[in-house]
């Protein structure tokens, strides 16, 4: 188990370094002189040279990469070109918002989607299964902005249950933010739902075929015990892993949803940074995203290993 853990961590570190290299390189090869972007077109040569000197743009690439990475690691993420403020507090605030949204989404999505998948799996081929399978497929076909706008119209404007606009101020507490989180979270749930439900259903069907289910049934155990204690434990393993991985996606991948709801998460910050050609901001957000993904993957691996005795206590 220790060896497994070390291997996964090493892998994680490698992923982060490789992607940081890619991010750095892409940022460097993007056309346009950064100092011109900062100072405007009409600037004099001396000011430009000073600016280049300041930003270390004339150093060799390797030096600049190492400086950038070590600064990043030490929490010095630089100043945003467009807002002229320190990047870190901004990004951290957005990260917190994104995590709140991700958490609420998982709280809604996990029980609903796994339950639907389990019900469908245990009733393979029966009407319930067909209804679940078909309707979840139908839902997955809808783009996020369609479901999002639909929810805003119904629950935001018409019924007025939740605010139609989820733009919250920086530092808003979770309780205060919660009503604003519900609609975007449901929209994200729709995206996850079909996928997770189908995965769970497949997991259940796969496990039901295994001979140990027969052993359990032929012990005379009640059907509920066979299903919950024996089958679910194994059937949900892949689902749990996928959900853990999807946490990474939820933090940074909700670009469309955040835009539809005006929700200030990392996704919108990234759109903003791209819009303004704000390289330091973009680099910081992307790095954070990558770290988030990698951490979610590691979390998923560890969870899988923990839940699966064949890895936890390998022989």
Residue ranges of alpha helices (H) inside the chain are 2-29, 34-39, 45-55, 61-73, 87-122, 127-141, 144-151, 174-208, 211-217, 223-225, 233-252, 255-261, 266-275, 279-307, 309-312
Nearer to other proteins, 171 or 222 (CB): 222
Contact between 313 and other proteins per CB under 8 A:
yes
Binding piece for other proteins, criterion CB under 8 A, among 80-88, 170-178, 195-203, 217-225: 217-225
Size of the site for other proteins (CB under 8 A): 28
Residues 219-238 binding other proteins (CB under 8 A) are 219-223, 225, 229-230, 233-234
Nearer to other proteins, 90 or 239 (CB): 239
Residues 6+ apart with CB under 8 A from 142: 190
Nearer to other proteins, 36 or 219 (CB): 219
Are the beta carbons of 207 and 231 closer than 8 angstroms? yes
Nearer to other proteins, 235 or 284 (CB): 235
Nearer to other proteins, 234 or 271 (CB): 234
Among 177, 193, 204, 216, which residue sits at the site for other proteins (rule: CB under 8 A)? 216
Among 10, 89, 160, 179, which residue sits at the site for other proteins (rule: CB under 8 A)? 10
CB of 24 to other proteins, least distance (A): 25
Binding piece for other proteins, criterion CB under 8 A, among 166-174, 208-216, 273-281, 296-304: 208-216
3-state per-residue secondary structure call for 145-177: HHHHHHHHHHHHHHCCCCCCCCCCCCCCCHHHH
CB of 12 to other proteins, least distance (A): 13
Binding piece for other proteins, criterion CB under 8 A, among 136-144, 277-285, 297-305, 306-314: 306-314
3-state secondary structure of 242: helix
Burial of 296 (0-12, 13-18, 19+ CB in 10 A): buried
Binding piece for other proteins, criterion CB under 8 A, among 79-87, 180-188, 214-222, 273-281: 214-222
Residue 78 sits at φ, ψ, to 5 deg, of 85, -170
Computed over its alpha carbons, how large is the radius of gyration of the chain? 24
CA distance 17 to 72: 12
CB of 295 to other proteins, least distance (A): 20
Distances (CA, A) of 162 to 180, 191, 263: 7, 20, 14
Are the beta carbons of 244 and 51 closer than 8 angstroms? no
Are the beta carbons of 82 and 281 closer than 8 angstroms? yes
Contact between 315 and other proteins per CB under 8 A:
yes
CA distance 233 to 203: 10
CB of 297 to other proteins, least distance (A): 18
Are the beta carbons of 89 and 264 closer than 8 angstroms? no
CB of 121 to other proteins, least distance (A): 15
Contact between 210 and other proteins per CB under 8 A:
yes
Per-residue interface string for the shown chain with other proteins, residues 157-196, x marking contact by CB under 8 A: ----------------------------------------
CB of 302 to other proteins, least distance (A): 16
Cross-strand partners of 33 = none
Cross-strand partners of 79 = 86
- Contact residues toward other proteins (CB under 8 A) are 3, 6-7, 10, 210-212, 214-223, 225, 229-230, 233-234, 307-310, 313, 315
């Amino acid at each position: 188990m220790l060896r497994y853990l070390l291997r996964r961590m090493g892998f994680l570190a490698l992923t982060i370094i490789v992607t940081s290299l890619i991010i750095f390189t892409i940022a460097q090869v993007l056309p346009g002189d950064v100092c011109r972007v900062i100072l405007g077109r009409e600037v004099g040569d001396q000011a430009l040279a000073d600016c280049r000197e300041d930003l270390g743009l004339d150093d060799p690439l390797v030096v600049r990469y190492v400086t950038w990475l070590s600064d990043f690691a030490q929490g010095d993420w630089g100043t945003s070109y467009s807002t002229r403020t320190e990047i870190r507090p901004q990004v951290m605030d957005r990260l917190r918002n994104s995590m709140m949204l991700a958490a609420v989404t998982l709280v809604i999505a996990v029980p609903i989607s796994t339950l639907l998948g389990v019900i469908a799996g245990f009733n393979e081929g029966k009407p319930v299964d067909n209804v679940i399978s078909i309707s979840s497929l139908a839902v997955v076909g809808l783009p996020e902005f369609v479901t999002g706008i639909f929810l805003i119209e119904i629950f935001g404007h018409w019924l007025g249950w939740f605010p139609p606009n989820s733009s919250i101020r920086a530092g808003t507490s979770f309780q205060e933010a919660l009503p604003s989180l519900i609609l975007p979270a449901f929209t994200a749930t729709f995206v996850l739902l079909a996928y997770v439900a189908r995965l769970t259903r497949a997991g259940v069907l796969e496990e039901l075929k295994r001979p140990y289910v027969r052993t359990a049934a032929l012990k005379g155990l009640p059907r509920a015990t066979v299903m919950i204690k024996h089958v679910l434990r194994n059937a949900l393993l892949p689902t749990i892993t996928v959900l853990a991985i999807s946490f990474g996606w939820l933090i940074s991948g909700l670009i469309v949803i955040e835009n539809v709801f005006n929700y200030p998460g990392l996704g919108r910050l990234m759109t903003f940074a791209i819009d303004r050609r704000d390289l330091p901001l973009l680099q910081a957000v992307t790095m954070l995203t990558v770290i988030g993904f990698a951490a979610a993957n590691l979390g998923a691996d560890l969870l899988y290993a923990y839940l699966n005795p064949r890895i936890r206590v390998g022989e």
